[in-house]
Structure 1
Amino acid sequence: MKWVWRILAFGTGLILLFGVQTWVWWQGDPEAGGTETNALWARHQWVGEAHTEAEYAGFVRLLRQNKITDVYFHAGPFEPDGTIPPGKYAHARELTAAMRRLAPDVRIQAYLGQIRVVEGHGVLDLDDPANRRRMVASAQIMIGLGFDGIHYDLEPIYPGDTAFLGLLDATRKIAPLLSVALEQQTLVDAAQPVLDALLPRSGRFKYPARPTDGYLREVARRVDQVAIMAYDTEMPTESLVGRHFAWHTEHTLRVIGDRVTVFIGVPTYPALFDWSETLPVAVRGVRKGLDALGRAPAKPFGLGVYADWTTSEADWADYRRVWPPHAR
C-alpha cells in the first residue's frame, strides 16, 4: 500500500506541476497576429429556405467585416445510401447565384456530412463502394448547382481508414475545390495501436477518432483544405484550454501547413465548461501556437468559426478584437 500511495502522490505532483507551468505559460501575451484567410460553417437554411436580396447582402457584409474567405454551407446530411433528397437543398442555386453577384471572391462549398457506421453503430456505411459512388454523385450535383467545392464532415474517421481516402480520391476528380473537417490529432501516435486493441470504436467507452501524423498527411495529399475541429476540449481552466489550442495549432501546421490550407476550428457556442472554453480563449491559444511555430506556414492559414447559427454580434466583436488584422 505504501508503494500505491507513493505512486498516487507522484502522479498528483506531476499534474499539479503541469497545471502551474501551464498557468505561468498562459500569462504571456501572444505576439502572432491574425490572418485574412478564415472559414465559417453556415446553417442549412441558406440552401433549404428562400432568402431576400437584403438577407444575402447582410450575410456578405458580415463575411467582409470579419475577413471570412471560405464558407461551408450545410447542404446535407447524406441519407444512409449516400444520396441527398433534392428538397433539402431546394434553394441552393439561388444562394450560389447571390454569392456570385455579391461576393465572387468568397469560396463557397457544400458542407456534406453524416455519422458513419462503425461496429454496427451509425447511419452511413462508408465501406460500401456503392454508397461512396452515390456520395460522389451527390457531390457532383452540388458542383452543378454552383458551389465552388465540397466540404466533407464524416465522423468518426480513424487512422488507416482507406474507405475515406478512396472517397476523397473519387471526389477530387469532380470537385475543383475539396476540403474536410477532421478531429484534433492524437497526442501520441504510438498509443493508437494500444487504444485500438483495448477500447471499442463504438459505445459509451469508445476511444475517439484521432488522426495520426501519417494519416493527416495522407488526407492532405488529396484535398485543398483541412479544418481541424479543435473545440469541445472539456477542460475546466482557461490556461488548459489555451494550451490545447496552442498545441494543435503548432502541431497541425508543422505536419501539413506547408502542403494545404489549414483552418483551426474555434467555438462560439456554450461549451461544457463555458467559463473556460470561449472564443477569446481559443483564439489566444491559436496565436500562442503560432508563436511556438516560429514562422508562417507556406500555405494560407486561419480560423474556422463554428458556427454562424451560434455566433452573436458580441461574438463577432470579440473575434475582431482578438484576431488582430480585423481590429486595425
Structure 2
Amino acid sequence: MRWIRRAGRALAWAAGYALALLGLFLAHAWAGLQTEPWSGGTTVNALWARHQWVGEPHTEQEYRALADLLRRNRITDVFFHAGPFEADGSVPPAKYVNARRLVEAMRAHAPGVRVQAYLGQIRKVDGHGLVDLDDPAVRARVLETDRIFLDLGFEGIHYDFEPIYPDDQAFLDLLGRTRDLTRSRGAVLSVAIEQLTLVDRAQPIYRAFIPRGWNQSVHYPPRPTRDYLRRVADLSDQVAIMTYDVSLPTKAMVNWHFAWHTEQTLRLIGDRTTVFMGVPTYRPLMDWAEDLPTALRGVRRGLDALDRPPAMPFGVGVYAEWTTDAGDWARYRADWLTVRE
C-alpha cells in the first residue's frame, strides 16, 4: 500500500502547487486594480452600430445627433450592421433600403468618420451553420455583395464571420480577394475576430476533448493562434478583437484579461495593421464582473506594459452603439479619452 500513500502525497503536493499558483495569479490580478494606469486614449476608435441605420428611415436631426455623438467620443470608424449574409453570400436589398441616405448624411455631418458596412454570418463548420465559405461560389457572391455596398458609398467592408478556426484557409482566401477589391476602390477591409488563444499548442487537445458549443458547430474555442492572427492582420487594414464576453467571476480577473490580450495582440500585430480592442457596454445576464470601466482599465494596463507604442494606429472598439447610454459615454470619455501625463 506504500505506493498508494506516495501517490496521495504527490496528488496533495500537486493540488497545493496549483492552488498556490492560482493564489499568486489572483493576487497579481487584484494588485493591478490598485494602481492607476498612466496610458490614455488614442486618436482612432471604432463603434459597432445597429442595423436600423441602414434598414429604416431617419430624420436629419437624428443623423446630426449621431454625427455629434461620434465627434464628441472620438470615433473614427463606424461598423453599420448591413447584413447578415444569406446562405448564398447575398444580402436582400430590402435590408438596406436607407443605406445610401445614411452614407450621404454621414458625409455631410461627420466627414471625418469612416462609414463601413458590417457584414457577417454564422460560418458553416462540420455541417452546422449557414454560410459555407469553403464553396468558391459563395465566396464569389460575398464579393459581389461587397461591391454593392462600396457602390453605395461605404468606405470599408467589416467582416464578422463566426466561428473562425486557425486552419480556415477559405476565410484567408476571402480576405485576400476582398482586400484587392477594397484597395481598388480606396476603401478599407476590417475584420472582427476572437481573442488570441492562451496556449497555441493546446488547440489539438481542445479539438479532441471539448464538446460542441451553443450553436452546435463549435467543437473547441475558435481562437486564432499567433500565426493565424498574423496572417489575418497581413490581409486586413484593421483588426477588431472581440475581447468581450469573458465570463470571469471577478473584476480583477476581467481587468487582467483585457490587459493581457491588449499587450499580446499589440506586440504581435500592432506594427502590421490598425487594431481595435473590443470593449463592452452591454450588461451580461450571468456576468457581474465584466463592464466598461473594468475593460478600459485593462486595455490601459496592457498599453502600459508595452516597451513602445505600435507602429500602426490602435484604439478600442465599443460594442455596441445600441447598448451604450449617456452614462456609458460619459464614463468612456473620462476613462479613455482623458489624456494622462
State the Cα distance separating 1:276 from its structure 2 match: 1.7
Instruction: Describe the superposition over 1:200-233 as per-residue Cα deviations: whole angstroms up to 9, x where unpaired.
Output: 5653983111111111111111110000000011
Query: Which has the larger displacement, 184-193 or 84-93?
Result: 184-193
Question: Is contact 1:153-1:180 (8 Å) kept?
Answer: yes
Question: May I ask how many residue pairs the two structures share in their alignment?
Answer: 328
State the distance in 1 between where 2:340 and 2:107 align. 27
In 1, the alpha carbon distance for the partners of 2:308 and 2:26 equals 27
Cα drift, residue 326 of structure 1: 7.2
User: Where does residue 265 of structure 2 map in the other structure?
Assistant: 252
Q: 1:77 to 1:204 in 2, by over 3 A?
A: closer
Please state how far the C-alpha of 1:189 moved relative to its aligned partner: 1.3
Determine the structure 1 residue equivalent to 2:72.
65
Q: TM-score, normalised by structure 1?
A: 0.96
Give 2:18's aligned residue.
Answer: 11
Q: Which moved more, 1:199-208 or 1:44-53?
A: 199-208
Which of the numbers 219, 225, 235 marks the counterpart of 1:206? 219
TM-score (norm 2): 0.92
Cα distance, 1:193 vs structure 2: 2.7
Q: Who is 2:34 aligned against?
A: 27
What is the distance in 1 between the residues matched to 2:218 and 2:207?
Answer: 12
CA-based RMSD of the aligned residues comes to: 1.7
Match of 1:238?
251
Q: Find out whether 1:313 has 2:297 as its counterpart.
A: no
Structure 2 residues not aligned, in runs of 5+: 1-7
Partner of 2:315: 302
Distance 1:143 1:327, change over 3 A: farther
1:34 maps to a residue whose letter is G
Matches for 1:61-140 after TM superposition, within 5 Å:
61-140=68-147
Within 5 Å, give how 1:267-282 maps onto structure 2: 267-272=280-285, 274-282=287-295
C-alpha distance after superposition, 1:80-108 (max 9, x if no partner): 11110000001000101111111122111
Aligned match of 2:237 in 220, 224, 230? 224
Aligned counterparts of 2:33 and 2:170: Cα–Cα separation in 1 = 40
Per the alignment, residue 164 of structure 2 pairs with 157
Which one has the largest radius of gyration? Answer: 2
Inter-partner Cα distance in structure 1 for 2:254 and 2:157: 30
Q: Which one-letter code corresponds to 1:143 in the other structure?
A: L
Change beyond 3 A, Cα 1:143–1:272: same
Q: Which amino acid in the other structure matches residue 99 of structure 1?
A: M
List structure 1 runs of 4+ shifted beyond 4 angstroms: none
Q: How many angstroms apart in 1 are the aligned matches of 2:285 and 2:199?
A: 25
Q: Which residue of 2 aligns with 1:291?
A: 304
- 1:253 counterpart letter in structure 2: L
Distance 1:327 1:24 in 2: 20
Counterpart AA for 2:53: W
Structure 1 residue 169: Cα displacement: 1.2
| Structure 1: runs of 5+ lacking an equivalent | none
Taking a change above 3 Å as real, the CA distance of residues 100 and 229 of structure 1, as seen in their structure-2 partners, is same
